[in-house]
A and B are shown apart, each in its own frame.
Chain A
Amino acid sequence: MENGAFSKEDFAKWGKDYVLFCHITTHIPDMKYDNLLTKVGGQGFPHMVFMDQDGEVLATHEGAREPAAFEKSGAAARESAKLKQKAAGGDVAAKFEWTCRQMEAGTLAVDAGKSKIKEIGKLTADQQKRFDSLLFDAGINEMFAGINSQEKFTEVGKKCLDYLKEKKIPKSDNAFDNFINGCFGYADSKKDADGFGMSIKALRDRKGDEADYKPIFENLEKHLAELKGGGEKKDDAPEKKDKKDGK
């Protein structure tokens, strides 16, 4: 992208209506704002957001990386800015919508989101359904943010696979990425071919139409066959291991 979209003249032209801010995560000790990515809801690179003057995320950019697509997200950001203003002025509908958008952007934690909704009062059935879905996704992301060991990953992965068995699947891409990662990881660690197969199906339902995923599915199916065959790849067969170890 740096050598593509950002190096083209039309990007510089588009950028005139915005303050262009490039944040670089360095891992240099004591570097100011080095963990800003997580504060704006980012979980990987690259991540693109539109923010207001206080650094509050107004919109997250997903999709095509070219000025026309950036502008679409920019328009959503301007709409969010108006919403934020209306919410601050006491408009209840705007408060709900702004809270939902903050949760979608990953900048509002589960507890904070619940508190904000509590302030609003009773929700309509549709609002409650939407908010519950956002809470579920945010909860998945929070579980993953708290992973600091293989044991914790296993515990979170188990929860994800349990959710999958209950057909509870996150809607947002960010949460789904974490979720499916947990499902695959747990199923693989337990040599659970059924769970692994269910995870493939969930990913296929989501991404099966994308040509780029073809090799991924081939690898997943290959691994599933290995799991069904007893959970060992040929390379890991005992006789080969012995040879490697010089026994």
Chain B
Amino acid sequence: MKRYLLAALAAAALGGSSLAQDAPAPLPKKAPANAAPTTDDLKKKYEDKLAQPFLKLAPWITDYDKAREESKKSGKPIFGYFSRSYAY
């Protein structure tokens, strides 16, 4: 929550004030206008994310359709972890 709050504070009208110090990257919909990577940049970042070691240490599925299919087949609930690749 603290991370979110800091991000929100930094991204809101308070940007540039003393409150924004040490704040992490703002939330996606409030990203600065000059942060406009190309589609190729985004694809590269996505590939880099998929190559992260943690995804090899457990049987993670990164395809939503496949995850639901596997849940239907196995009867196991899905643990969904939501992350992003467009910003590190």
Contacts and interface: CB of A to CB of B under 8 A. Distances in A.
A55 B85 contact: no
Interface residues of B, number: 56
A58 B77 contact: yes
Interface in A40-76: 40, 42-55, 58, 70, 74
Contacts of A78: 77
A12 B81 contact: no
Interface in A153-197: 153-154, 157, 173, 177-178, 180-182, 184-186, 188-189
Given A6-B57, A7-B53, A50 B77 contact: yes
A222 B80 contact: no
Interface in B29-88: 29, 37, 39, 42-43, 45-46, 49-50, 52-55, 57-62, 64, 67-68, 70-72, 74, 76-86
A19 B82 contact: no
B46 A28 contact: yes
Interface of B: 1-9, 12-14, 17-19, 21-22, 27-29, 37, 39, 42-43, 45-46, 49-50, 52-55, 57-62, 64, 67-68, 70-72, 74, 76-86
A96 to B, nearest CB: 23
Given A22-B60, A26-B84, A181-B12, A44 B77 contact: no
